[in-house]
Structure 1
Amino acid sequence: MHDIAQSRLHTLSRPKSIPFCEHYAGAPRYVAKALSHQTIATYPFDVTIDLEDGAPIGQERAHLEEVVAVLSEHPDNGRRVGVRIHSLDSRFCDYELEWLIRHCGSRLSYLTVPKVTCADQVKALVSTIQRLCRSYRLPAPLPVHVLLENRQAIRNIWSIAAVEGLETLDLGLVDLVAEYAGAIPVSAIEYPLQFEHGIICQAKTELATAAHYYGLTPAHSVTLELTREGALRDARLARERFGFTRMYSIHPQQIDGIVQAMSPDPNDVAQACSVLELAEKAQWGPIGWQGKLYDAASYRYYLSILDNARHAGQPIPQQFGHFIQQESI
């Protein structure tokens, strides 16, 4: 982008572009299936191997070794894979961190840690991961995804979000509702109440706001309805009402719906192209288009639309590729 655009548009601070959907798989056969699906999919999505809920009780170490073997045997498809480890107070946590980084650190894109409570805890975790990555000569430390699913974490969202080394803030709604010991009805973990209940809405608003402020990606909790339609509906509400830009999938049928809901509408992409084309001709000064005024703030918005569309695998006209080549605009 030329100098005029740089001076007019300033630096746009936004989260690193990562896939809109994070698909969880626990049992080795489901991990293998997810990796195969990821390879042939026409759009990107992350696969997260689940050690916390995916492991049979009493077989946690065997499960770890089995799923790592599946990952090692599967051809590298060039797409992102992460692992959710046990919580920091679990006796398996340190063992899993060392094992994963030593045996398959180069294949991993992130590590997800559940049930965090405060910033000091997260800082210590990030420091441990960075030390292990140096010890095993990884080119860069693995980013950390923190799963916020208790009242302490929600209270400490802003200090947690400020910790260096994080990539996402993830909402764990089912565990959060359970923490209220019946004060919040169980129906609040599903549509429509999870988008209407006051305490839940406040938690979602705080999480998404803090994530965007610190340049992280806010990731929404699961949809228990194992259908494409249910996932699409909930993902769209999560994005439009609360600003979430990523969501968990727990069934292959949900992936496509989540990606579609989180991706820009094709009409918005077409409008972005029209506005930016006129803006460039006007040397990034204010313009009028279809009876409305557009300026630098509008251009930053439409640049993010194009960037999100590209990231979702949507076609972008070749002449607009130079708009979205940079991480920050």
Structure 2
Amino acid sequence: MEKLIHPKKALFAGEKAFPVLSACEHFAGSRKLIDKALALQIEYGPIFDITADCEDGARAGEEVAHAEMVAELVASAQNVHKKIGARIHDPSHASCKEDVDILLSKCGREIAYITIPKATSYEQVAGHRCLYPGDGQASPPRPRHPAAHPNRNPWCAARRGSDRDHSQS
């Protein structure tokens, strides 16, 4: 009798597994609410993602301090499940590039994803150099497949070189 093979092994043998996406995404903009969400995530396990909101969470004029606070929490020991991402400012906002630079430099290996608000297409986002780390001269890779989550852009995941890279599945 032939040995039965699970479809997962037959169809995807040797391929990189797709990332597991949470069914729920919790947005939090203040330190107090992010800490509360982290405590809930520690208590209940990695059943939801936390999106630290740099756009609506930052007070006017305090955008840099807010992005640094978000990066600190993402890189902290509280981030047990490594399921914290960030929502940056709109690409047309002056703080967008600072958000990206701060997050990638301070917690680029730990951050689960970066969400770009108000983006409706690849072309709309690709034209904004504020989204590219460093001098902004490199172009982002074109996504190979549509985002599994409607509010995330997989090519902008901040896990450059990480084995948990959601951007290139």
For 2:63, the aligned partner's letter is E
Task: Name the larger-Rg structure.
Answer: 1
| Preserved CA contact (<8 Å) 2:88 2:96 | yes
Q: Which structure carries more strand by proportion?
A: 1
1:70 aligns with 2:1: no
What's the CA shift string for 1:191-242, capped at 9, x where partnerless?
A: xxxxxxxxxxxxxxxxxxxxxxx4532448xxxxxxxxxxxxxxxxxxxxxx
For 2:34, the aligned partner's letter is V
Hey, which bits of structure 1, 4+ residues long, moved more than 6 A?
A: none
- Separation in structure 1 between the aligned mates of residue 36 and residue 5 of structure 2, nearest angstrom: 49
- Separation in structure 2 between the aligned mates of residue 216 and residue 118 of structure 1, nearest angstrom: 11
- Separation in structure 1 between the aligned mates of residue 126 and residue 115 of structure 2, nearest angstrom: 14
1:113 to 116, 122, 125: 116
- Separation in structure 2 between the aligned mates of residue 66 and residue 128 of structure 1, nearest angstrom: 19
1:30 aligns with 2:51: no
1:217 to 142, 148, 160: 148
SS of corresponding position for 2:80: coil
| Preserved CA contact (<8 Å) 1:15 1:216 | no
1:164 aligns with 2:95: no
SS of corresponding position for 1:40: helix
Structure 1 residues 21 and 53, CA gap change in structure 2 (3 angstroms): same
* 1:121 positional shift: 3.0
Could you say which residue in structure 2 is the equivalent of 1:86?
A: 89
- Separation in structure 1 between the aligned mates of residue 121 and residue 81 of structure 2, nearest angstrom: 34
SS of corresponding position for 2:108: helix
Structure 1 residues 69 and 215, CA gap change in structure 2 (3 angstroms): closer
| Preserved CA contact (<8 Å) 1:51 1:63 | yes
- Separation in structure 2 between the aligned mates of residue 215 and residue 23 of structure 1, nearest angstrom: 22
2:64 to 55, 61, 72: 61
RMSD: 3.7
Q: Which structure carries more helix by proportion?
A: 1
What's the CA shift string for 1:240-287, capped at 9, x where partnerless?
A: xxxxxxxxxxxxxxxxxxxxxxxxxxxxxxxxxxxxxxxxxxxxxxxx
Matched positions, count: 142
Structure 1 residues 101 and 38, CA gap change in structure 2 (3 angstroms): same
* 1:57 positional shift: 2.1
Could you say which residue in structure 2 is the equivalent of 1:17?
A: 20
TM-score, length-scaled by structure 1: 0.36
- Separation in structure 1 between the aligned mates of residue 120 and residue 6 of structure 2, nearest angstrom: 42
TM-score, length-scaled by structure 2: 0.66
What's the CA shift string for 1:102-145, capped at 9, x where partnerless?
A: 0111110110001124322333569954x55xxxxxxxxxxx9x
Identity of aligned residues (%): 28
Point out where structure 2 has 5 or more consecutive residues left out of the alignment: 135-139, 152-169
| Preserved CA contact (<8 Å) 1:35 1:74 | no
**Where in structure 2 are the equivalents of 1:1-329 lying within 5 Å?**
10=11, 16-124=19-127, 128-129=131-132, 163-164=142-143, 214=145, 216-219=147-150
Could you say which residue in structure 2 is the equivalent of 1:139?
A: none
For 1:29, the aligned partner's letter is K
SS of corresponding position for 1:107: coil
Structure 1 residues 117 and 19, CA gap change in structure 2 (3 angstroms): closer
Point out where structure 1 has 5 or more consecutive residues left out of the alignment: 133-143, 145-162, 166-213, 221-329
For 1:113, the aligned partner's letter is I
